[in-house]
Structure 1
Amino acid sequence: MDSPVDSKSSGDAPEVEATGGISPLEHAYDLDEKAKISDYKADAVEAENAEHKMGVLEAVREYPMASFWAFVMSFTIIMESYDVFLIGNFVALPAFREKYGVFDAATNSFVIVTKWQSALQVSGQLGALIGVFLAGPLTSYIGYRWATLTGLMLLNVFIFAFYFAESLPVIFVAQLLEGLPWGIFIANAPAYCSEIVPIKLRAPATQMLQMFWAIGSIIVGAVTYRYNGINHPSAYKIPIALQWMFPTPLAILIFLAPESPWWLVRKGRLQEAAHSVERLGRRSRLNSSETVAMMRRVVELEKSDKEPNHLELFKGTDLYRTLIVCGVYLAQNLTGNLIANQAVYFFEQAGVSTNTAFALGLITSALQMIFVMLSWFLTTYFGRRTIYLWGSGFNTILLVALGVAASVPVTKGTAAATAASLAQASLGLIISVLFTLGPAPASWVIIGETSAIRLRPLTTGIGRASYYIVEIPCIFLGSYMLNPTGGNLGGKCGYVWGATGLLCLITAYFYLPEMKGLSYREIDIMFKRRIPARKWKQTVLDVEDDE
């Protein structure tokens, strides 16, 4: 008689062989999963085809509230922008410099010493660096809405510390605290905006982030321009207090906003996801069950037994996706963005008067907003990779030209010196503006589209963290290069940023794929098939493909 073990082995062997080497239980589970997917795959295909066929205007008509809620979520970026530009302008504000600076005999004026100038610029970014690491797990657990609401309420409290600060160390700590909610906003906004709109609206929805960044700088520019001639604490206290304009109204709107249906599908809350889709679009024009089926299809493709964690971002094809997001974020700091963030101070160091510097800073911000809106059309119709590469190329050329203009030998006080100063100021303005026509807005679209749906909150968080990790030393370097008590390079900093910009351009050419017009299913499959970045545009996938 066979032993029980032998009997079991001989009985199971044919079944295991027949199912390709897996157990009957595993085989049954696999068939069950395929059956479940086939139940809604037809609806998923229908919804994806409908999105592909939509034009931009049709997408706006069918999803009007999605556009509105993307607008609201993007508005949260205005608070980081406002404060970043505020600190950048404070180092050029006479009343602030007289209160917290030291007298510099060489320039016959008060200046904020280099170490504190850099520290103030970097304080909020340090806080935001912590905030983005908190944002991923927090958002994965409680959703985009509640994570953003938490940040808004914290910001209301932290503004008090900044307003009542009477020393540079206290300002540093206050800025660090304010940075915590910024990290949540900047990690959540591009992900949320890209998830609530159809394919054709992903570019303009995510590019609104850059527009609100420009609007924040416009408000700061207008306020500091108004107060730069007033030698009184109100010249910097009022701009600080104006930060309270934003958090509470935004918190009310975010409370009323729908949660991302993709997040709800990830959590298995399908009925709530369908309701969210209906709130984002016109019920009479869309089939919410089909849209949810499309989302389920992608979520099932990415399904894992594990809870999303940061380690997954550095494994397999997710590593490539993470590196793209991080690389695009890094490039924002390495291609002249810091000239835009310190525009007023840059103009002063280029040799123009304080009043003119503030006026040019305001003009720069206004032009940036206009150019961001132009970029909506360029990125939507010409693609992300195309606009990013051409914009980065022009930016690199202009940065080198800035360095050349600053290298021309002139005698101080002569007409030639005035012309050289104006040339540097003009090139600085053009660089700051063109940056918002190409690389900057295209970056937000790439960031919103690249990551896997399952890992999106974590990917955008780690990507922004890389931005801050590189920005912090770049701020110290940028402040040192511009400060008269430091390197005093003025426009010659264009050589440095031109070199780093060229490196970023070459890297993007080889590794940045074109994701224009692709569904999240198609993006997942292209990464899994390891299609070379330069061949994405020519690759066509069947709508029935799942891997």
Structure 2
Amino acid sequence: MSEIQQHAQIEEKAFVDEKGHVEHVDKTHSDFKADAMEAERMEHQMTVLEAVKAYPMACFWAFIMSFTIIMEAYDVFLMGNFMALPAFTKVWGVYDEANAKYIIVTKWQSALQMSGQLGALIGVFVAGPLTSRFGYRWSTLIGLMLLNATIFIMYFAKSLPIFFVSQLLEGIPWGIFIANAPAYCSEIVPMRLRAPATQVLQLFWAVGAIIVGGVAYKYNTHDGSDAYRIPIALQWMFPTPLAIFIFFAPESPWWLVRKGKLEQAARSVERLGRKSLLNSTEVVAMMRRVVDHESESSPNFIELFKGTDLRRTAIVCGIYAAQNLAGNLIANQAVYFFEQAGMNTNTAYALGLITSALQAVFVALSWILTTYFGRRSIYIWGTAFNVACLFALGVAASVGKSTAASLAQASLGLIISVMFTFGPAPVSWAVIGETSSIRLRPLTTGIGRASYYIIEIPCIFLGSYMLNPTGGNLGGKCGFVWGGTALFCLIVAYFCLPEMKGRSYRELDILFGRRVPARQFSKTEIAPEDDE
């Protein structure tokens, strides 16, 4: 029996006195529940600005943890840019007489762009058990040190197979970061900040693309190997500084409560928020109330597919998978897409950089959107808009070759990439961070991201084939394909995606436990005293 359950009737309560010393008093179970209810009531009453004021350091540490996503975004977009980089294609490609330029053949183009995702697929399965055992801080630190080492392999690569292996190895720490970041961010902030804190992940994805776009734009006219080796070397500017920050970061208090480390959890809460504006004892009691009702056994992957957790796992996996099926790959291959739409190389790189900059702006604007509108409505309406744009892209590519058609395709490609980061993409991170149970969260975010890679890998092959002149050479007609897959995601989301805005983790546990239909989540009332 866990430490928490052993104290079901007589709870040990930790608090900090005026001099900062931790003391202990015994409280009855009713007092413990009253503390938990009070903390939850305070979170419900907070506005977004009040939550930021009460938890300033939680916002800071969520920002720092989210920064790890820049590294995956940087490398994903880097490989996409390399496919259109003359210096890279001249060394590693073949001459295409029809287009009078060097290109990377389809099989290697696909392989290089999916190798990192293959490694990340391994990484997310490593992340769950690693984080469950050692916590978010130490598992992230392990990933950062591993990434430092694997960048060397890519920098000194002398063949495409070595590039492939280097990307695969780099992908393993990416998997750790992408599994940990949304879970950690959603756990360290109060309810009102869950969406903004997790949406920062999408912002940093865009920032990674901006950095790559700027570097690639600078070097796309260079002929020597520096044109691709310098962008590779720039990856080293991230891991070590981030590792220093993460070393001093507080561990998630929810993880500490799961481990029965209650005093450490209280200190973690105090590091995340202002002592004058919150009561760490009540906050920890609220966490313990949720954890008390979870199984005492060690979390394992099998549990993700049993009972009510199966539904929660399916939602996380579905949201992750849909990111590849609703036009996101056009954003990831923006420069190459613009080239195939008829833009010259320099213009394509400039448009790619503009797209990334606009994505960052619209992600920031999405914070306002999630403050006033629900996750479900944002996701459904945003995906519906993208469906319409994708089919319009297919139509524009089907009317024949002309300057107007090329401009229309480029414009629609830019709109799709930007609007995806305004609605469906950022709100997806909030859904991912909120859906799973607390105990299974590291495993759920890991398996969810695995579904992302499992879908992305064949989609990369398909996307590369459709755009490549030596493959399908569809250009903008790929909009018909992605429009169809996005429409499927829209239909599934309408029937299966619940509204979780404004719900505490206790309330979400109860709603899933009662098997409330997705479209009834927002209408179902949960009393403050309810535990199941």
Relative to the length of structure 1, the TM-score reads 0.93
Partner of 1:72: 64
Is 1:281 paired with 2:287?
A: no
**Alpha-carbon offset, residue 324 of structure 1:** 0.1
Cα distance per residue 1:439-463 (max 9 Å; x no partner): 0001000000000000000000000
- 2:99 maps to which of 81, 102, 107: 107
Partner of 1:33: 8
Rounded Cα–Cα distance in structure 2 between residues aligned with 1:168 and 1:523: 48
- The SS at the match of 2:488 is helix
**Alpha-carbon offset, residue 267 of structure 1:** 0.1
Is 1:51 paired with 2:26?
A: no
Partner of 1:513: 498
Partner of 1:149: 141
Rounded Cα–Cα distance in structure 2 between residues aligned with 1:222 and 1:475: 23
Partner of 2:474: 489
2:392 alignment partner AA = A
Rounded Cα–Cα distance in structure 2 between residues aligned with 1:317 and 1:399: 35
- 2:214 maps to which of 209, 222, 230: 222
- 1:96 maps to which of 88, 91, 95: 88
Is 1:196 paired with 2:188?
A: yes
Partner of 2:521: 536
**Alpha-carbon offset, residue 381 of structure 1:** 1.5
Alignment of 1:43-442 (within 5 A): 43-302=35-294, 304-410=295-401, 417-442=402-427
Rounded Cα–Cα distance in structure 2 between residues aligned with 1:35 and 1:391: 49
1:321 alignment partner AA = R
Asked whether the equivalents of residues 326 and 483 of structure 2 are also in contact (C-alpha less than 8 Å), the reply is yes
- The SS at the match of 1:286 is coil
Cα distance per residue 1:341-390 (max 9 Å; x no partner): 00000000001100000000000000000000010111121011110000
Computed over aligned residues only, the root mean square deviation of the Cα atoms, in angstroms, reads 1.3
Partner of 1:15: none
**Alpha-carbon offset, residue 305 of structure 1:** 3.1
Is 1:471 paired with 2:446?
A: no
2:416 alignment partner AA = I
Asked whether the equivalents of residues 5 and 292 of structure 2 are also in contact (C-alpha less than 8 Å), the reply is no
1:226 alignment partner AA = K
Cα distance per residue 1:491-546 (max 9 Å; x no partner): 00000000000000000000100000100000000000111111111111100000
Rounded Cα–Cα distance in structure 2 between residues aligned with 1:126 and 1:536: 36
Cα distance per residue 1:100-123 (max 9 Å; x no partner): 000111111100000000000000
**Alpha-carbon offset, residue 38 of structure 1:** 3.1
Rounded Cα–Cα distance in structure 1 between residues aligned with 2:454 and 2:215: 30
- The SS at the match of 1:453 is coil
The ranges of structure 1 where at least 4 consecutive aligned residues each deviate by more than 6 angstroms after the TM superposition are: 29-32
Asked whether the equivalents of residues 32 and 285 of structure 2 are also in contact (C-alpha less than 8 Å), the reply is yes
Q: Which is higher, the Rg of structure 1 or of structure 2? A: 1
**Alpha-carbon offset, residue 30 of structure 1:** 9.7
Rounded Cα–Cα distance in structure 2 between residues aligned with 1:130 and 1:465: 8
Asked whether the equivalents of residues 59 and 200 of structure 1 are also in contact (C-alpha less than 8 Å), the reply is yes
| Structure with more of its chain in helix, by fraction | 1
1:210 alignment partner AA = Q
Cα distance per residue 1:119-168 (max 9 Å; x no partner): 00000000000000000000000000000000000000000000000110
- The SS at the match of 2:324 is helix
Partner of 1:460: 445
Partner of 1:527: 512
Asked whether the equivalents of residues 190 and 206 of structure 1 are also in contact (C-alpha less than 8 Å), the reply is yes
Rounded Cα–Cα distance in structure 2 between residues aligned with 1:510 and 1:49: 30
Asked whether the equivalents of residues 62 and 286 of structure 1 are also in contact (C-alpha less than 8 Å), the reply is yes
Q: Which runs of 5+ in 2 are unaligned?
A: 12-28
Rounded Cα–Cα distance in structure 1 between residues aligned with 2:66 and 2:208: 12
Rounded Cα–Cα distance in structure 1 between residues aligned with 2:343 and 2:50: 48
Rounded Cα–Cα distance in structure 1 between residues aligned with 2:427 and 2:215: 29
1:345 alignment partner AA = Y
Rounded Cα–Cα distance in structure 2 between residues aligned with 1:123 and 1:494: 25
Partner of 2:436: 451
Rounded Cα–Cα distance in structure 2 between residues aligned with 1:30 and 1:322: 26
Cα distance per residue 1:284-306 (max 9 Å; x no partner): 1110000000000000122x132
**Alpha-carbon offset, residue 32 of structure 1:** 7.4
Asked whether the equivalents of residues 376 and 497 of structure 2 are also in contact (C-alpha less than 8 Å), the reply is yes
Asked whether the equivalents of residues 380 and 516 of structure 1 are also in contact (C-alpha less than 8 Å), the reply is no
Asked whether the equivalents of residues 64 and 280 of structure 1 are also in contact (C-alpha less than 8 Å), the reply is yes
1:362 alignment partner AA = L
Cα distance per residue 1:465-496 (max 9 Å; x no partner): 00000100000000000000000000000000
Rounded Cα–Cα distance in structure 1 between residues aligned with 2:8 and 2:54: 33
Rounded Cα–Cα distance in structure 2 between residues aligned with 1:38 and 1:500: 51
Work out the number of aligned pairs and report it.
513
Rounded Cα–Cα distance in structure 2 between residues aligned with 1:523 and 1:189: 21
Asked whether the equivalents of residues 187 and 253 of structure 2 are also in contact (C-alpha less than 8 Å), the reply is yes
Asked whether the equivalents of residues 132 and 184 of structure 1 are also in contact (C-alpha less than 8 Å), the reply is yes
**Alpha-carbon offset, residue 39 of structure 1:** 4.2
Rounded Cα–Cα distance in structure 2 between residues aligned with 1:479 and 1:332: 17
